Every structure is written in structure tokens, then in C-alpha cells.
């Protein structure tokens, strides 16, 4: 699905406990390279743990904090919550 059909929002607006897929990095080449090296590359899955001014996130098993400006520059697609009743897709 193309980015034009996705509902994207800044990482800082992802609710605590929600998981999103990184779709777009906005910023200069240096910023984009740094956040990719931290694990926030395109298609990465990120879980927002907490925060508004500073966003605490879980990415690739590591907790990382981003300032508000950085979190505004990472656009994510919020993924549906996994139901504990249904389990992982295809597990039925």
C-alpha cells in the first residue's frame, strides 16, 4: 500500500502502549541517518511506552527516548492492537 493511502501521524502522537510502523522520516540527511542507526528506519515497528515532551519508545528490544522535535519528524502508521483472545494472526 502506498504512503498516500496510509493514515500517518507523528510518533509523538502515538498513544502510550500503541505500536506503529515507521513510514516516513522527515529531516535532513544527517537526522535521517542517525534515527535509522538507532533503529527507527522505514518499516521498523515502534511501541510508544510513554511521554509527550519526550517520547520513550521500544524499538528492536531497546528503550530509547526522543525529544519532541525528533518524534514529530518520524511519521508512523498505527497498527491495530493485538487481541490476547485472538492471538497472533494465523494462529487459529
pLDDT in tens, 31-41: 999 999 999 99
Asked whether the CA dihedral 39, 41, 42, 46 is positive or negative, the reply is positive
pLDDT mean over 3-18 = 88
Taking the domains of the chain in order of start, what are their residue ranges?
23-78
pLDDT at 72 over 60: yes
Length of the chain: 92
Residue 65: what pLDDT?
A: 98
**HEC per residue, 16-72:** CCCEEEEEEECCCHHHHHHHHHHCCCCCCEEEEEECCCEEEEEECCEEEEEEHHHHH
CATH code for the part of the protein at 23-78: 2.30.30.90
Amino acid at each position: 500500500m502506498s504512503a498516500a493511502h496510509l493514515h500517518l501521524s507523528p510518533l509523538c502522537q502515538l498513544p502510550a502502549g500503541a505500536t506503529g510502523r515507521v513510514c516516513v522520516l522527515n529531516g535532513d540527511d544527517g537526522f535521517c541517518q542517525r534515527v535509522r542507526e538507532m533503529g527507527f528506519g522505514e518499516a521498523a515497528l515502534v511501541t510508544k511506552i510513554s511521554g509527550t515532551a519526550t517520547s520513550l519508545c521500544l524499538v528492536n528490544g531497546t528503550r530509547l527516548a526522543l525529544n519532541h522535535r525528533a518524534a514529530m519528524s518520524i511519521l508512523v502508521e498505527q497498527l491495530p492492537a493485538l487481541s490476547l483472545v485472538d492471538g497472533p494472526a494465523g494462529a487459529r
